[in-house]
Chains A and B, each alone.
Chain A
Amino acid sequence: MLAETATAPITGFTPLVPYVLVALTVFAVLMLVPKLLGKRSYSKDKFVAYECGVDPIGSARQRFSVHFYLVAVLFILFDIEAVFLFPWAISLQEIGSAGFISALLFVGVLALGLAYAWRRGVLDWNN
């Protein structure tokens, strides 16, 4: 049992303190110096939304179909599945048949979810 025998509490973080201080100082100096020394000019164009140098077209505040969201959520699910399957594929020799069956169950449950979403018309773009 790994968790029972581990002993190291959180210690030895003191060297990080100067690191954080230096980072904050650099950040503050970089923000302050241009403010004090630099010249500023304002023009109307500076307040226009940046669209890669092209004149902006239309409003940025449009409504998007909720389908984008559904597809994104489905994508994330299978993305995470892939993350789990890579270490599984590499360590298949060590984890044996128990590991193989567990992963199959995992994929099976996800496949069932996909089938359900499909059946309910989540993937149908015209719906």
Chain B
Amino acid sequence: MTPNDLALVGPILLPALAALLVILVDLLPGSQRSGGSFLLAVLGAAVSLGYTIHALMHDREGLAFFGTMKIDRMALLITLFVHASALMSLLLSKVYLDRRSDVEQPEYHAFVLTSAAGMAMLAGANDLVNVFLGIELLSIPLYLLVAMRKHQSRSVEAGFKYLLLGAFASAFMLFGAALLYGSSGSTMLTAIPTGIARIGNDTPLAAFGASMLLVGLLFKVAAVPFHMWTPDVYEGAPTPVTAFMATATKAATFAVLLRLAPTLGTALGEEQAANLLGGLAVLTMFVGNLGALQQLNLKRLLAYSSISHAGYLLVGLAALVRAHGSSVEAEAASSIVYYLGAYTAMSLGAFAVAVLIDGGKDREAISDLAGLGKRNPLLAAAMTVFALALAGVPPTAGFFAKYYVFLSAVDAGLIAVAVLGVLASVIGLYYYLRILLTMYVDEPKPGHEATVSRDAMVAAVSLTAVAFVLLLGIVPKGFVEAMALAH
């Protein structure tokens, strides 16, 4: 452990430190009602975000802790998304929590920060042990955050579901990690492929281990067939928590999947691994988009939308595995990172609108949005941008992100997957446009109009999200260059 190691993992240590401070300050007498924990948590998340940006701009990259942590450009970019998401989610939570007396606020803030630390750790993990530690550090606070409204059965049920299934997924991951270690002789992600190759490619043990590890990770990103929990958990969790889960967990877990791609290729065979991931991607895109068609609840709709976006991301991963060793590999990796950035912005924005229309009474029906175009044109315009971006309509971030992912799939030779992906997006268009139709055309039923909260912080989050969604879509070139990964 050297000071340089500590400086490299600063984006992991800082949120953890902030979480401890939040707990410590809450112990002081008379601090319970002051709202100090909120300010401290926001400060902690902002400092972590600033540190990550600083590290990105000055290329503070390298191996830490004997190579078990690999802080490279990809890790820093994903950490950037995670900390941005944590900060935005904290800002969203103020108005949401102040209207609900059943949540312990200091614990809430500390858990968001702890979870962000776990996600940052996952983004930089280069060793199976650290991958597992990161997964647990991000998951355990999330289980608690989902069940934070402990007198509301919906929230408790969601937390319990997520805990049981998440523990199951962790067991799968551990078993897979043990088998991978057994078949390669190493726990280092960068050393596992060579270890497996030394023994021979046709080892069923390595294939089994890699598949089980994949099961655990696909559960976390809500990919079919491990997606069943998503709608219930996303609906039951407090809305700011859902926003955080949907965006940051996906980003952090895809960081591991990116690092595992060579292992998957070696253990399963590049052709088979690409076909498997491509098949799962097609299934995920269709199940997500078809499931969303029938939803009446905004949060459930966004949950199915989140499933379908996991599918688009898996298209990029399949391309990455298939293109191993060629120039397309870097393109596929960059397209996934770009997609994660775009998805973080547009999904956070959509959930910010969900927080605003909720009015403290858990009003989440899509029909509550009726007439919003007349009553609150600005908010309706923001929601329009997010819905169009999630649907993938130009000139938004969603369009370019999808284009980039599908392009890398075509370049890698996965043409069928790309074509099916475009078809699935067309289905998706229907339910996103229905939101717009509800806002601008439908007449509100008396007593069922959403009461829009006026909150400067949530408005700021929405505005930031709108700005990024449009910038990433209109001038993608600079962002693509910033997010390009050398492979």
Chain A residues proximal to chain B, CB less than 8 Å = 1, 3-4, 6-10, 98, 102, 109, 112-113, 115-116, 119
B183 at the A interface (CB under 8 A): yes
Known contacts A7-B185, A10-B205; 5 further A-B pairs (Cβ under 8 A):
A3-B127, A9-B195, A9-B199, A109-B20, A119-B27
Nearest neighbor of B190 in chain A, beta-carbon distance: A4
* B281-293 to A contact mask, C-beta < 8 Å, 1/0: 0000000000000
Alpha-carbon gap, A3 to B184, bound state (A)? 10
Docked-complex contact B27 and A3, CB < 8 angstroms: no
Given A3-B127, A3-B191, A116:B23 Cβ within 8 A: yes
Docked-complex contact A116 and B191, CB < 8 angstroms: no
A-facing residues in B40-54 (Cβ within 8 Å): none
Docked-complex contact B24 and A10, CB < 8 angstroms: no
One of B26, B66, B182 near A9 (C-beta < 8 A): B182
B451 at the A interface (CB under 8 A): no
Residues on B with beta carbons closer than 8 Å to the beta carbon of A3: 127, 186-188, 191
One of B26, B27, B182, B186 near A10 (C-beta < 8 A): B182
For the complex of A and B, list the 5 residue pairs with the smallest distance between their C-beta atoms, beginning with the closest. A10-B182, A6-B185, A3-B186, A3-B187, A7-B185
Nearest CB of B to A111, in Å = 11
Given A1-B66, A1-B67, A98-B1, A6:B24 Cβ within 8 A: no
Alpha-carbon gap, A4 to B199, bound state (A)? 15
Residues on B with beta carbons closer than 8 Å to the beta carbon of A4: 67, 186, 188, 191
Alpha-carbon gap, A113 to B183, bound state (A)? 39
Docked-complex contact A115 and B27, CB < 8 angstroms: yes
Residues on A with beta carbons closer than 8 Å to the beta carbon of B185: 6-9
Nearest neighbor of A4 in chain B, beta-carbon distance: B191
Docked-complex contact A112 and B20, CB < 8 angstroms: yes
13 A-B interface contacts by CB (under 8 A): A3-B127, A6-B185, A7-B185, A9-B183, A9-B185, A9-B195, A9-B205, A112-B23, A115-B27, A116-B23, A116-B26, A119-B26, A119-B27
Nearest CB of B to A61, in Å = 21
A10, A102, A112, most chain B CB atoms within 10 A:
A10
Nearest CB of A to B182, in Å = 4
Q: How many A-B residue pairs have CB under 8 A?
A: 42
> Chain B interface: which size bin?
20 to 34
Docked-complex contact B186 and A6, CB < 8 angstroms: yes
Nearest neighbor of B24 in chain A, beta-carbon distance: A112
Residues on A with beta carbons closer than 8 Å to the beta carbon of B127: 3
Residues on A with beta carbons closer than 8 Å to the beta carbon of B1: 98, 102
Nearest CB of A to B107, in Å = 9
Alpha-carbon gap, A85 to B46, bound state (A)? 35
Nearest CB of B to A42, in Å = 39
Residues on B with beta carbons closer than 8 Å to the beta carbon of A116: 23, 26-27
Nearest CB of A to B18, in Å = 13
Nearest neighbor of A115 in chain B, beta-carbon distance: B27
Residues on B with beta carbons closer than 8 Å to the beta carbon of A8: 185
Nearest CB of A to B14, in Å = 15
Alpha-carbon gap, A6 to B183, bound state (A)? 11
Alpha-carbon gap, A127 to B23, bound state (A)? 21
Nearest CB of A to B118, in Å = 15
Nearest neighbor of B178 in chain A, beta-carbon distance: A10
Nearest CB of A to B194, in Å = 10
* B222-256 to A contact mask, C-beta < 8 Å, 1/0: 00000000000000000000000000000000000
Alpha-carbon gap, A8 to B185, bound state (A)? 6
Alpha-carbon gap, A116 to B104, bound state (A)? 13
Alpha-carbon gap, A113 to B22, bound state (A)? 12
Nearest CB of A to B149, in Å = 17
Docked-complex contact B184 and A9, CB < 8 angstroms: yes
Residues on A with beta carbons closer than 8 Å to the beta carbon of B20: 109, 112
Nearest CB of A to B152, in Å = 18
* B17-34 to A contact mask, C-beta < 8 Å, 1/0: 000100110110000000
Residues on A with beta carbons closer than 8 Å to the beta carbon of B67: 1, 4
Nearest CB of B to A96, in Å = 10
Residues on B with beta carbons closer than 8 Å to the beta carbon of A6: 185-186
